[in-house]
Amino acid sequence: MDPGGNRRNGRVPSEGTIPAGAGRELPVLDLEPGRSGPVRERADAARNRMRVLKAAERLFATRDARHVTMDEIAKAAGVGRATLYRRYPDPASIATALLDEHERQVQGHILNGPPPLGPGASPADRLAAFYVAMIDLLERHLHLVLGAETGRARFGTGAYRFWRAHVRMLLTEARVPDPEGMADAVLAPLAPEVYQFQRHTLGLSQARVTEALVWSARRLAGG
């Protein structure tokens, strides 16, 4: 296993200093040793997994995922507790599974998509585009992010390591002093609790939050 929690034989695109195992569950399918194809999930297991994920997403959309119980998810999905716990230890792990797909899409655009989010633009433009993409992700899936990436748990995810490596690379290209020390400061405004406070307590619009971060990205990276 690599530091990102992935099997070493998984194939993940890389860019600059971004580690191949940076995504939380990249690649989508692992390969068993000695096999040339993806591990096949049993049909009944796949159906149960989809029922659990769909039921959980419905529940997470109605209230804070941190307050949803495993019993509620099992009941809504129509599966037994043993079936649920066999795959997921807690609601946060289910929120993580739901969030993975959305984060993989952003990671794919960063690695292989068109500029300015993808390669080919200036560091300032790429950092600004990164902020735009991440605020859009938070706006659309805040209920999932709050359930999966709050507090210290945020820093232990492969996704955070991916975002951090990407930001550090852009800061290095922009010749910002101490990119290693600055990377977490650049990511701090993207903490889900911060965005929730801005949107639901302060009443700031998504556009206003985005504009402030884009301005700071261009000032920091010299765009």
Give 106-154 pLDDT, tens digit per residue: 999 999 999 999 999 999 999 999 999 999 999 998 988 887 766 677 7
1 pLDDT band, cuts 50/70/90, is very low
What pLDDT sits at residue 123?
98
In DSSP terms, 31 is beta-bridged to: 38
CA-to-CA distance for 103 and 130, rounded, in angstroms?
A: 12
What pLDDT sits at residue 40?
61
93 pLDDT band, cuts 50/70/90, is confident
Q: Which of 213, 30, 15 is nearest to 204 (CA)?
A: 213
Domains of the chain: 38-89 (1.10.10.60), 98-221 (1.10.357)
Contacts of 93 (CB under 8 A, 6+ apart): none
Contacts of 179 (CB under 8 A, 6+ apart): 168, 169, 171, 172
Give 34-92 pLDDT, tens digit per residue: 334 444 668 888 889 889 999 998 998 888 777 899 999 999 999 999 999 999 999 88
What pLDDT sits at residue 113?
96
Residue 28 pLDDT exceeds 90? no
Q: Look at 32 and 167; give whichever has higher pLDDT.
A: 167
Q: Look at 103 and 143; give whichever has higher pLDDT.
A: 103
Give 199-209 pLDDT, tens digit per residue: 999 999 999 99
Q: Look at 154 and 174; give whichever has higher pLDDT.
A: 174
Q: Phi first, then psi: give them for residue 31, nearest 5 degrees.
A: -115, 135
Q: Indicate the pTM of the whole model.
A: 0.70
Residue 156 pLDDT exceeds 80? no
158 pLDDT band, cuts 50/70/90, is confident
**Contact call for residues 185 and 51 (beta carbons, < 8 A):** no
> How far, CA to CA in Å, does 97 sit from each of 49, 91, 199, 218?
10, 10, 25, 33
